A and B are shown apart, each in its own frame.
Chain A
Amino acid sequence: MTVTNNREGLSPSTVLVHRESPAVEYVEVDGETVVYDCAGNAIHLLDQIGTLLWTLLDGTASLRATSADLAAAFGRPPDEVLDDVMRFATEMEAVDLVERVG
């Protein structure tokens, strides 16, 4: 898997993956996820939906494809879901927990 340091704005075609080097450590408990960022020496807490999205940022699908899957699963308008996914992904990239693939 090739990752890039391109920091221009995310697009729906972007593929994201959890940062590998230095790795982020995370654990799930009762549907929430605690993420430790070794590089930033900070701890983040993701709620249940954040946890779902976090597991989907696995480097295999674009943000658009991920949104479409979620929209189908939850019966919601794809554009609405895409907005939310983009916001979450932007936040994750801003705190350096994910990196881009390709």
Chain B
Amino acid sequence: MSRADRALDALETLPAPPAPLPAPLPAPTAVMAGGPRDCPTQVDPDFFRHRRWAWRSGPCAAVGHRFEITSEPLHELRSLLGPLVTPLRAQNPPSVHGHYRIVRHRNPEVPYALYYGGMRLTLATRPESLVRFLTWHINRQMVDKSSAEHVVLHAAAATRAGITVMLPGDQEHGKTTTVAGLLREGYEYVTDEAVAIDPATLHITPFPKALSIDDGAWPLFPECRPLVGTEGLRQWQVPAEQLGSQSMRGAVSPPTVVVFPMFVAGSTTRCSQLSRGEAVRELAQGTFHFTQRPARNLATLVDLTRGATVARLRIGSLDGAVRAIETLVSQRLMEKL
């Protein structure tokens, strides 16, 4: 049978079913709504004027989201806020667009309130809940404020010797765990949540937030256990440095190894190929605000996949996943040499 005949037989193949586009990052649920009178939902600048701020983050940048955090004296928050903001502190302080303020109020049962500008974002009963919400809000603002200039993908990324590995995937697919495994092997850290790609150059602007390691993966990273305040935690916020890595600060080379991870408990780790068309479709599904600029986003994703090795990775073990990715990276390095 000729190639043309085989191609004609393939007319039987119907197009793949449509796939839904990604929902925005889900908000954490362990926060408290409602409102006591001393922490209104909307406030004017006078509300903050006479408060005693005990802690200030300094200017921070999460790609297009530039912010600062200040807090009233709340010692129990210090150990949680440090890992959150340290990787995002701006080296060349940018102009700050938004201020987060953490306020204590009189109700001892709901002692924490988080404001952004003049709007109260949440009340929290526990410091962990407040920091979890703050983390979510920073991530969400990063996505919202960066999507005009960048194609922002739900993905983790790390780089080594000029080869950038991108791990696109939804929640629970194993992005953070896998990238943490790579960092432990000497990769430099780009992000565990959102990859911001410049459509013109395909370079990545790093978003080196602390890695959010879920409780299910804690046994794999005992060295990352927080020293204090572990009670009630569902995630550890782990700076890349704690895994022996460094965070990237400047522009990162375009991804040339794109691996779609899928953690399947009890399975054997296995790498398999997928076509570039499938890769573009899956990347489109994982692009935040894809619908706002579909033509630009599709064109960028095609450019990105044309120069990349693309693969699926079913993950049964972290060691196996890291080895499989190392094999792909080695192949790219050999090509480069």
Task: Give chain A's interface residues, CB within 8 Å of chain B.
Answer: 25-34, 36-38, 40-50, 52-53, 70, 73-76, 81, 84-85, 87-88, 91-92, 95
Q: Name the distance in Å between B312's Cβ and chain A's nearest Cβ.
A: 15
Kindly list chain B residues whose C-beta atoms are within 8 Å of the C-beta of A36. 284, 290, 294, 298
Q: Are B277 and A88 in contact, CB atoms less than 8 angstroms apart?
A: no
Expressed in whole angstroms, the minimum distance between the Cβ of B283 and any Cβ of chain A is 9
Partner of A81, one of B8, B275, B277, B295: B8
CA distance A28 to B280 in the complex (A): 10
Q: By the criterion of a CB under 8 Å from any partner CB, how many residues of chain B are at the interface? A: 34
Residues of A close to B280: CB separation below 8 A:
27, 29, 34
Beta-carbon contact of B295 and A42 below 8 Å:
no
Given A25-B294, A29-B305, A81-B8, CB of A37 within 8 Å of CB of B14: no
Type the 1/0 row for B12-46, where 1 means its CB is closer than 8 Å to any CB of A. 11111111110000000000000000000000000
- B10 interface hit (Cβ, 8 Å): yes
CA distance A40 to B17 in the complex (A): 12
Which residues does chain A contribute within 8 Å of B140, judged by CB atoms?
A: none
Question: Is the contact region of chain B dominated by helix, strand, or loop, or is it mixed?
Answer: helix
How many angstroms between the C-alpha atoms of A69 and B331 in the bound complex? 43
B15 touches A45 (CB 8 A): yes
What A residues does B277 contact at CB under 8 A? 29-34, 45-47
14 contacts between A and B (CB under 8 A): A27-B301, A29-B277, A29-B305, A29-B306, A32-B276, A34-B284, A41-B21, A46-B277, A47-B277, A74-B4, A75-B5, A84-B12, A91-B14, A95-B15
For residue B334, CB closer than 8 A to chain A, the reply is no
- A48–B7 CA distance with the chains assembled, in angstroms: 8
B272 proximal to A (CB < 8 A): no
A25 to B299, CA, bound (A): 10
**B290 CB contacts on chain A under 8 angstroms:** 36
Interface status of B164 (Cβ within 8 A of chain A): no
Q: Which residues of B contact A87 (CB under 8 A)?
A: 11, 14
Query: Would you give the shortest CB distance from A40 to chain B, in whole angstroms?
Result: 7
Which of A38, A44, A49, A85 sits near B7, CB closer than 8 Å? A49
Report if A74-B7 is in contact (Cβ < 8 Å); known contacts: A27-B280, A43-B284. Answer: yes
CB-based contact B298/A38 at 8 Å: no
Contacts beyond the supplied A25-B295, A29-B305: 12 A-B pairs with Cβ under 8 Å = A33-B277, A36-B290, A36-B294, A41-B291, A42-B18, A42-B19, A47-B13, A47-B15, A52-B7, A84-B12, A88-B11, A91-B14
Q: Do residues A91 and B298 form an inter-chain contact, with CB atoms below 8 A?
A: no
Mask, B232-253, CB within 8 Å of A = 1, is 0000000000000000000000
- B278 lies within 8 A of chain A by Cβ: yes
With A44-B16, A95-B18 as known contacts, state yes or no: A49 contacts B11, CB within 8 Å. Answer: yes
Decide if A32 touches B15 in the complex (CB within 8 Å).
no
Tell me which residues from 276 to 308 in chain B have a Cβ below 8 Å from any Cβ of chain A.
Answer: 276-278, 280-281, 284-285, 290-291, 294-295, 298-299, 301-302, 305-306
A43 in complex: contacting residue of B4, B12, B18, CB < 8 Å: B18
Contacts A49-B10, A75-B4; A38 near B294 (Cβ below 8 A): yes
In Å, the complex CA distance between A27 and B290 comes to 15
Contact between B302 and A76, CB atoms less than 8 A apart? no
Identify the closest chain B residue to A97 (Cβ). B15
The distance in angstroms between the C-alpha atoms of A91 and B305, with both chains bound, is 28
Distance in angstroms from A24 CB to nearest chain B CB is: 9
B299 interface neighbour in A27, A81, A85, Cβ under 8 Å? A27
Contact residues in A for B276 (Cβ distance below 8 Å): 29-30, 32
- Residues on the B chain within 8 Å of A38, using CB: 291, 294
Point out the residues of chain B lying under 8 angstroms from A29, CB to CB: 276-277, 280, 302, 305-306
Query: Given A33-B277, A34-B280, do A43 and B21 touch, yes or no (CB 8 Å)?
Result: yes
CB proximity of B44 to chain A, nearest CB, Å: 39
Residue in A27, A73, A92 whose Cβ sees the most chain B Cβ within 10 Å: A27
CB distance from A58 to the nearest CB of B (A): 17
